[in-house]
Chains A and B, each alone.
Chain A
Amino acid sequence: KQEVTQIPAALSVPEGENLVLNCSFTDSAIYNLQWFRQDPGKGLTSLLLIQSSQREQTSGRLNASLDKSSGRSTLYIAASQPGDSATYLCAASNFGNEKLTFGTGTRLTIIP
């Protein structure tokens, strides 16, 4: 059974700094791994999707990496802004299976 963990549970960073969010998973036979953003009481916004054959994906100030052998993924946010404050979730999809196993999330606060 896939288990996904995110550390830390909460993170506060001054505006402008670069930061890294961590995600680990127990079953390396994943189909893909996604990073989402969730704002309070709202749905999920997909940020980046990394296929199992890929090692990283970039979108603007965001860069996500995937290391299946170590069961880890990271989300790098450059030049953080107050608008980046949200909960960030990673989720793994097992091979051939669209069902997602979500991590526990990291609640990010960017301090102006």
Chain B
Amino acid sequence: GAVVSQHPSRVICKSGTSVKIECRSLDFQATTMFWYRQFPKQSLMLMATSNEGSKATYEQGVEKDKFLINHASLTLSTLTVTSAHPEDSSFYICSAGRGSGLFFGSGTQLSVL
């Protein structure tokens, strides 16, 4: 089956720093990838749709200047949390579509101190 790799799996950073999360489709090309966020005891919420070669589409309430998305190739999308604060601490997970299915990365647990 299709594999989506996400890195890092866990990151702890100080408030004010920026954190980059990578999402790679290992055995297929993905023109579109999706970024989700999950706060403790809540479900996954779509943050943005990453489009290869064009600007990402953000969901309502998600700050595009804070969550920078770059989809520079057909196999890689990155999410950068800029000037992270404790309230940004969450589980971030990406997905990529192939055929009629969606495949998810293993997620990144971000903890901002």
Contacts and interface: CB of A to CB of B under 8 A. Distances in A.
Interface of A: 32, 34, 36, 41-44, 46, 49, 51, 89, 91, 93, 98-105
Interface residues of B, number: 23
Main secondary structure of the interface of A (DSSP, over half): strand
Nearest to A107: B41
Nearest to B96: A98
B32 A43 contact: no
A98 B102 contact: yes
B17 to A, nearest CB: 22
B34 A43 contact: no
23 contacts: A34-B101, A36-B104, A41-B107, A41-B109, A42-B106, A43-B6, A43-B93, A43-B104, A43-B105, A44-B44, A44-B93, A44-B104, A46-B103, A98-B97, A98-B102, A99-B46, A99-B49, A100-B102, A101-B46, A102-B44, A104-B42, A104-B43, A105-B43
